[in-house]
Amino acid sequence: MKKDANIVRFENNRIIITFFVHVMIGGLCSFAPDGNIWLWLGINLALALVFALVNYMIWNVHKNNSKRYFSLHTFVMLLGIAYYMMTPAFRGLYPSIFFWLLLFITIVLIGFLIIKYDAVTNAFVNPGDSWFIKIVVIYGSIVFISGGLLWAYMNATETGPFAPVAIILFFIGIFLVMIAPIMLATPERVKELEKQRY
């Protein structure tokens, strides 16, 4: 019975639900800012399908381990939502120098957090650890730098009423990027980190 409880059947893998969540959020984010709406709608819907296929492949590999499957599934879901949340800001900045600066900062941050996923997990499991303070400092720095870049561009150009919404969505996306790597840790590793608290 315990073995059966770890099996994730297709009807319970939440791939379709996550697909529709990505379609809904990606569709809404395609309308800000104005311009090339249909192109971005097509891109975002295609990416929703790609995320669904990735989750399907993850399910094929880990369907006999429910905890591992759902953690990786959540990782893909969070990264997908983060992408959709950040695209309005990037679209509004393109092709200015602020676009390239923000893109560089974002890529470096995502790469760093994924590589250091174990340390990120430890920071949240053991908030008293010094890594938690580092994570807070990193997030605060990203918010400060990104906010400064976006506001500078807004003041230099006519960005329209979408700009404040794009900034808020971007910061939500950054927050999701910050917590997503936690899902890469195995349940066994999380238990090991919890024991370090005592």
Tens digits of per-residue pLDDT, 45-64?
A: 999 999 999 999 999 999 88
Residue 143 has pLDDT above 80, yes or no: no
Residue 3 has pLDDT above 70, yes or no: no
**What letter represents residue 169's amino acid?**
L
Query: Tokens 């929703």 belong to which residue?
Result: 48
Rounded CA-CA distance 109/113 in Å is: 6
The whole-number pLDDT of residue 155 equals 62
CB 59 within 8 Å of CB 69: yes
The domain total for the chain is 1
pLDDT in tens, 97-127: 778 888 888 888 888 888 888 888 887 777 7
Rounded CA-CA distance 198/18 in Å is: 37
CB 58 within 8 Å of CB 73: yes
What the block records as the tokens of 103 is: 């893109």
The whole-number pLDDT of residue 1 equals 44
Note the pTM of the prediction, 2 decimals: 0.82
Rounded CA-CA distance 23/170 in Å is: 18
What the block records as the tokens of 50 is: 């790609």
Q: Which domain, by its residues, includes 81?
A: 2-195
